[in-house]
Amino acid sequence: MSKAEMNESARSANRYLEESRMGDSHQTLKNARDIFLKILGAQRAQQPPPQARDLCYTYNKLRYTCQQLSQLNYDASDRMAMIDRAAEYGKHAVQCAVDSRNVHREAQMRFYHACVSAQRIQLKAEEQCLQVPTELERENARRALEEAWVTLQSIQDLDGRPYERMNARSLSQLLIRS
């Protein structure tokens, strides 16, 4: 896949993400995920290797898409598998952000990853068939979210309103008990 084809595919996947906010979200999110997975495969095969920021973008899109899918799947094990994938993609996005040496990108990726951890805690607390989250898991997730939030707030000229909402939602997810 050429760079131009990857860019066009990313635009197509982003259109699916937009559509998912307006209606038939399950299938459109799956379509977006499948396209981003193809882009990731092409990036991994690319010679010379892609820049870390490009990989970060793709991993973060996969993190977001899987995180959204985890809220739509009805079976608890499917939801958990999807949030685990979101966490894995988030971890890769953080590493790529570190590799890109962009502290703002790194702060954002760490924050997103912490939000996924909070959602994972909520899912485990809500679903009786899953192992209940321990207090240590909750505390570690809370601490990671708090640290990521403080770092994100230190970025000048960043519109923090969307992040404030995400932070509040993530903190509330950590309070849910089974």
75 lies in some domain: yes
Tell me how crowded residue 66 is: count the other CB atoms within 10 A of its CB: 23
* pTM, entire model: 0.90
11 lies in some domain: no
39 lies in some domain: no
127 lies in some domain: yes
Residue 133's domain spans which residues?
A: 51-175
Look-up of token digits 């973008």: 57
Q: Residue range 31-42: average pLDDT?
A: 94
Q: What is the pLDDT of residues 117-142, one digit of tens each?
A: 999 998 888 876 667 888 898 899 99
CB 9 within 8 A of CB 39: yes
Tell me how crowded residue 68 is: count the other CB atoms within 10 A of its CB: 20
- The total number of structural domains in the chain stands at 1
Structure tokens at 151: 């770092």
DSSP symbol at 102: -
CB 57 within 8 A of CB 105: no
- For residue 60, what pLDDT is reported? 97
166 lies in some domain: yes
